[in-house]
Amino acid sequence: MDIYSPVSSIKGVGPRVLEKLNKAAIFNILDLLLYFPRDYEFLSGNPEFEEIDSETRQILTCKVVAIKKDVRTRTGKFLSTIEFEYKGHKVDCKWFNQPYIKNSYRVGNSYNLMGKFKRVGNILEIINPTLGNRDALTSEIKPIYTLRGELTDKLITKLVMSVLDIVDIGENLPKRLLDKYNLISLDEAIREIHFPKNREILGMSITRLKFQELFTYSMKLLLLKNKIKKSNNGMSFPWNNKLNELKAALPFNLTEAQAKVVREILRDQKSPYPMNRLVQGDVGSGKTIVALIAIYNTYTNGYKSAFMVPTEILANQHYEETKKLLSQFNVEIELLTGSTSNKEKKRIKERIKEDKPLVVIGTHALIQEDVEFNKLGLVVTDEQHRFGVEQRSKLINKGKRADVIVMTATPIPRTLALYLYSDLDVSVIDELPPGRKKIDTRFFQDNSRNKAYNLAKDEIKKGRQVYIVCPLIEEDEKEQLNSVESIYKKLKDGVFSDVDVEILHGKMKASEKDEIIGRFKYNKTKVLISTTVIEVGVNVPNASVMIIENAERFGLAQLHQLRGRVGRGQYESYCILIANAKSNTTKKRMTIMTESTDGFFISEQDLKLRGSGEMFGMKQSGQEGLLLADIYEDIDILRCARGEAKLILENEDSGNKRMVKEISLGLEKSSKYICFN
Ligand code: ADP
Ligand code: MG
């Protein structure tokens, strides 16, 4: 069976099931096999009577003693009762509204019952248990899948099982590597990650699959780099006097660091090789202006630039800033985002096809297939941590010979940068513009949050504004976290009853978000309660307080980004981390934040503190398009995998060549890093 054939070719997948699967982005067999469990339920079997607690699900092998007569309850439910026996204790078992249940049981036979059993005196009680595996199993690991749309665990389990019955998953790593790193086969890994026999083998399959991902991922980066190196047919954009006019028009002098990076970029633009440069610079270090200089140079040479950002809020902001600086030099600028009207889109796309210079600012919409750039000379992506290598390679292919600048404020540790951006040259803006005040960062335990609100109130009295960031939009029963809505309710009628408070989150329509940001920008709103949608780029210099709720839930790099929303003007600013800090690690993390404002230092510390994460907590964050591996936590695996990928590319024996070809083919057919024939 071909791994890329559609799921409709699986027996039992009719139009209805097909629709459900497609809605969950499962289109072919590979998608299904890579739909890994999010977690597992570890059912332990046949414990001693005294050890049974009603909180955990268990499997007990019980013998049927008597099947009782069905009754109707007073509320009209249909009640079936069977009496079992377990290790000498009576088990009282009830099912509601399942009249056929009795047919599955025979007096005198034993069955594996699964569920939460409750001890009541000397007997056990359970309601609606399920019937476990028929085999004399005494323990079981059940996969739990992320249920997108109308999927159920049962459906996925059934489909994955039936596919695994017929596929043969070929090995794609040389035996030498499997032996060296003690890796199990790909076939076994895929089978065991869905239906593990025990914890040990589950751990081994996760390791194997992480290795696979990071190996293929490294291979992709390295191949990309080779491809770029080979193409020396880039365009050359020499600089001219117009650049000096621009520099003279700037409202400030460039910092030393900015000037150095501008020189590196201009040198790349002048050379006939396509530029591929990463510009790293801490929040507020002034990356935008550096990009605008490169864009202007491209423009004066008669070419187009595309300036891409991850959010519409940011696109609008950049559009305004770019207009402010470049319109005076008659530079033509367009804004293209998801909420641009169709008519406008059509007009802009026509302009993009013309043989004239232009600056286009936009969101991902910019790299969608139907935008055909004519004379594209430069592509800048801002806040690159939101664009993975996948988009990067798309871009490079789109622009053909265009220069590429990616800018990120996520200060990743240098060691890691080497792995993640090995296809790029790196420039660092390691200096902030003069006069920036250090942001006074404080950490409060949950129960002293009022101190934070009081400080915010004082600042509002002085004319300043406040952000409050929460990890969730709405209340969630399971998670004891503060949400935008609950905090809003509490504060609106409480401490901030006399000022304008608004909320902002990612589920809102783009136009609504813009209006809210607009009101905050123009100081109509004093307090903005938001999710992390404001994490990148938002620039409101009058805001001086950032309060972060459940700070323990955010990564340090993210906290650092959020903190970067304040301290953007001349005012003394504050960042207050409110956390329910029980563990030492949380306390340490908070201390790192209160003691340092150096993004690179923070990211190094973060990496050190993470250490080895828990093995079974699957992250589905989709970081860099990876399903299982976490580039921070799995840096050791990344190191090995990358080393091996590099060696294989450098040694052109026939086995290696075939392997590289197979992986390249797989990467063309699937955007995932675990691909096989
Ligand atoms: P980031 O690197 O976070 O994207 P921005 O480009 O948004 O930073 O710049 C942050 C602020 O600093 C902006 O208001 C910008 O005008 C200002 N700025 C940039 N460079 C300088 C400089 N050399 N001197 C003074 N202010 C600067
Ligand atoms: Mg920026």
- pLDDT tens for 303-314 read 999 998 888 888
Sign for the pseudo-dihedral over CA of 373, 379, 383, 384:
positive
Ligand 1 neighbourhood includes 288 CB (under 6 angstroms)? yes
Is residue 574 within 8 Å of residue 440, measured between CB atoms? yes
Best mutation site among 250, 258, 289 for ligand 1 pocket (most ligand atoms within 8 Å of CB):
289
Torsion of CA 223, 224, 229, 232, to 10 degrees: 130
Ligand 1, atom 17: closest residue by C-alpha: 286
135 pLDDT exceeds 60? no
Round to whole Å and give the CA distance between 300 and 350.
Answer: 21
Task: Please give the distance, rounded to the nearest whole angstrom, from the Cα atom of residue 389 to the centre of ligand 1.
Answer: 27
605 pLDDT exceeds 90? no
Mean pLDDT computed over 395-417: 75
Task: Please give the distance, rounded to the nearest whole angstrom, from the Cα atom of residue 282 to the centre of ligand 2.
Answer: 9
Question: Under CATH, which architecture does the 440-596 domain have?
Answer: 3-Layer(aba) Sandwich (3.40)
Task: Please give the distance, rounded to the nearest whole angstrom, from the Cα atom of residue 568 to the centre of ligand 1.
Answer: 8
Task: Please give the distance, rounded to the nearest whole angstrom, from the Cα atom of residue 163 to the centre of ligand 1.
Answer: 55
Ligand in nearest proximity to the CA of 384? 2
pLDDT band, residue 620 (cuts 50/70/90): very low
Ligand 1, atom 15: closest residue by C-alpha: 286
Atom of ligand 1 nearest to the CA of 541: 14
Task: Please give the distance, rounded to the nearest whole angstrom, from the Cα atom of residue 528 to the centre of ligand 2.
Answer: 20
Atom of ligand 1 nearest to the CA of 285: 2
User: Would you state the pLDDT for residue 95?
Assistant: 94
Strands 376-381, 501-504: pairing is unpaired
Ligand 1 neighbourhood includes 285 CB (under 6 angstroms)? yes
Best mutation site among 252, 279, 309, 538 for ligand 1 pocket (most ligand atoms within 8 Å of CB):
252
Mapped onto helix, strand or coil, the DSSP state of residue 142 is strand
Round to whole Å and give the CA distance between 492 and 525.
Answer: 12
Mean pLDDT computed over 51-76: 89
Task: Please give the distance, rounded to the nearest whole angstrom, from the Cα atom of residue 255 to the centre of ligand 1.
Answer: 10
Q: What is the pLDDT of residues 431-460, one digit of tens each?
A: 888 877 789 999 999 888 999 999 999 999
Tokens 């300043």 -> residue: 464
621 pLDDT exceeds 50? no
Ligand 1 neighbourhood includes 258 CB (under 6 angstroms)? yes
Ligand in nearest proximity to the CA of 537? 2
Percent of the chain whose predicted confidence (pLDDT) is above 90:
49
46 pLDDT exceeds 70? yes
pLDDT band, residue 62 (cuts 50/70/90): very high
Ligand 1, atom 9: closest residue by C-alpha: 286
Strand partners, 78: 72
Task: Please give the distance, rounded to the nearest whole angstrom, from the Cα atom of residue 400 to the centre of ligand 2.
Answer: 26
Best mutation site among 278, 285, 560 for ligand 1 pocket (most ligand atoms within 8 Å of CB):
285
Mean pLDDT computed over 246-270: 95
Q: What angle do CA 397, 289, 566 make, to 5 degrees?
A: 110
Q: What does 353-419 look like in DSSP terms, one character per residue? A: HSSS-EEEEESGGGGSTT---SSEEEEEESSGGGS-HHHHHHHHHHSTT-EEEEEE-S---HHHHHH
How many residues are given for the chain?
A: 677
User: Would you state the pLDDT for residue 146?
Assistant: 83
Quick one: how many helices (H) and strands (E) in the chain?
21, 23
Where in the chain are the domains? 1-38+146-167, 39-141, 234-429, 440-596
Q: What does 545-611 look like in DSSP terms, one character per residue? A: EEEETTGGGS-HHHHHHHHTTSS-SSS--EEEEEE---SHHHHHHHHHHHH---HHHHHHHHHHHH-
Mean pLDDT computed over 198-207: 92
In this chain, the answer to whether the domains covering 39-141 and 440-596 adopt an identical fold is no
Task: Please state which of the four CATH numbers 3.20.20.70, 3.40.630.10, 3.20.20.60, 2.40.50.140 is assigned to the domain occupying 39-141.
Answer: 2.40.50.140
Task: Please state which of the four CATH numbers 3.40.50.1820, 1.10.287.610, 1.20.1250.20, 3.40.50.300 is assigned to the domain occupying 234-429.
Answer: 3.40.50.300
pLDDT band, residue 122 (cuts 50/70/90): very high
User: Would you state the pLDDT for residue 522?
Assistant: 93
624 pLDDT exceeds 50? yes
User: Would you state the pLDDT for residue 645?
Assistant: 92
Question: Exposed, middle or buried: residue 107 (CB in 10 Å: 0-12, 13-18, 19+)?
Answer: exposed
Ligand 1 neighbourhood includes 252 CB (under 6 angstroms)? yes
Is pTM beyond 0.85? Reply is no
Ligand 1, atom 25: closest residue by C-alpha: 433
Tokens 């990743």 -> residue: 412
Mean pLDDT computed over 589-618: 71
Sequence-ordered list of residues with C-beta below 8 angstroms from that of 462, at least 6 positions apart, any chain: none
